Amino acid sequence: MPKLLIAHGGAPTAVLNASLCGAVEAARASGRVDGVLGARGGTRGILDGSFADLGALDAQALARIAGAPGSCIGTSRTPLAPEDYPRMAQSLAQAGVGYALLTGGNGTMDACGRLSQACAPLGIVVGGIPKTIDNDIGVIDHAPGYASAARFAAASMRHIARDVDSLPIHVCIVEYMGRNAGWIAAASALSRRAPGDAPHLVLTPEVPFDEARFLASVEAVWRRGRGVVVAVSEGLRGPDGAPLAPPVFQSGRATYYGDVSAYLTRLVIERLGVKARSEKPGILGRCCAELASPLDREEARRMGALAARAVLEGRGGLMAGLLRTSDEPYACEETLVPVAQVMLRERLMPEAFLSPDGMDVTDAFLRWARPLLGGPLPDDGPVL
């Protein structure tokens, strides 16, 4: 019997290992494989023939891995040339692999689709498992990884808001990840319990930054005397469409922006004469297993298992996914999406989720996003 291989692409998440464990468990239960391999370091591991024996893990080890952050087999952003796909196909065939799963976002799904084509003549079936904190994969409702990033954004915002409210002497600008889409910064609004609670402004890349409107809004909140907290996406763009804080480094599709929170902080200080500071959780927001959404971990495992079952049934070129059927009560059904529909296609926040002035989210977004937190946020105590 052939083996099944799993490889990860792009940045890890707080629940990426849960997807891997779901795939391993489904493969074992199928009785159709002679083992399960993990590509060390993503597609680079496939090219180099560097594989970990996941089939040797017992139930206790899998349970520990499923709750761990990062990726137990590593991942990568290895740039791939057209000639690399036939090379990977040959590497898989030489290792006795008959089924392969790539876990990642729309960039990884592009590689998944290309690898599926290269592997078809060799009889290797390839499929995809969705994964991204950015929630920018098209067609599906949301991707594993996002819900945990959203829970972190909401919980961290609630704690920052309590700090600022306790000593309201400055404007605090919190920068969340989000290259082209504002899903994570938007989720910080789930921290609110009453009108007027932080974040007082939510700025996303979908809406061009208006400096005059931003400063006027910050000043209006400041005059209330409780301090100001702003949530902003790292990829915030100006009216010309260029990043407000230009990228400091770029490698392929991987873009590393300058600190937009620092840019806005300086703007507030210089134009309003108000003390301001910036905060940037960075990768902590995507790897914090302590604040991972229980729902996210469970769905990540389900997506791994669904993708594994699909390729083991000979159904290649498909990505596992979730489609929302109800917000209240929350319900999503499992689906399989042709990888071709999500290859390098970004899903931005829809207009219905953004306020008319472009500096907040709507109730429609909050209804959609709230169930993904997987339960109440940590208690931050009463205000006397």
Residues 235-261 as b/e (b if ≥16 CB within 10 A, e otherwise) read bbbeeeeebbbeeeeeeeeeeebebbb
Question: How many Cβ atoms from other residues are within 10 Å of residue 281's Cβ?
Answer: 19
pLDDT band at 44 (very low <50, low <70, confident <90, very high): very high
pLDDT at 250 over 90: no
All structural domains of the chain with their residue ranges = 3-145+290-341, 147-283+348-373
| pLDDT tens-digit map of 116-157 | 999 999 999 999 999 999 999 999 999 999 999 999 999 999
Average pLDDT in the chain:
95
Percent of the chain with pLDDT over 70: 98
Average pLDDT of the residues in 186-204: 97
Percent of the chain with pLDDT over 90: 91
What's residue 321's pLDDT? 98
Rg (CA), the chain: 22
User: Which residue numbers are catalytic?
Assistant: 134
pLDDT at 246 over 80: no
Q: Is the whole model's pTM more than 0.85, yes or no?
A: yes
What CATH number does domain 3-145+290-341 carry, 3.40.50.10470, 3.40.50.300, 3.90.1150.10, 3.40.50.450? 3.40.50.450
pLDDT band at 379 (very low <50, low <70, confident <90, very high): confident
Who has greater pLDDT, 214 or 247? 214
Could you tell me which CATH class the domain 147-283+348-373 is placed in?
alpha beta
Q: Which residues contact 135 (CB under 8 A, 6 or more apart)?
A: 142, 143, 146, 181, 183, 184, 347
| pLDDT tens-digit map of 254-284 | 666 679 999 999 999 999 999 999 999 999 9
What's residue 251's pLDDT? 64
| One fold for 3-145+290-341 and 147-283+348-373 | yes
Question: How many Cβ atoms from other residues are within 10 Å of residue 287's Cβ?
Answer: 21
pLDDT band at 110 (very low <50, low <70, confident <90, very high): very high
pLDDT band at 383 (very low <50, low <70, confident <90, very high): confident
What's residue 353's pLDDT? 98
Contact 292, 14 (CB under 8 A): yes
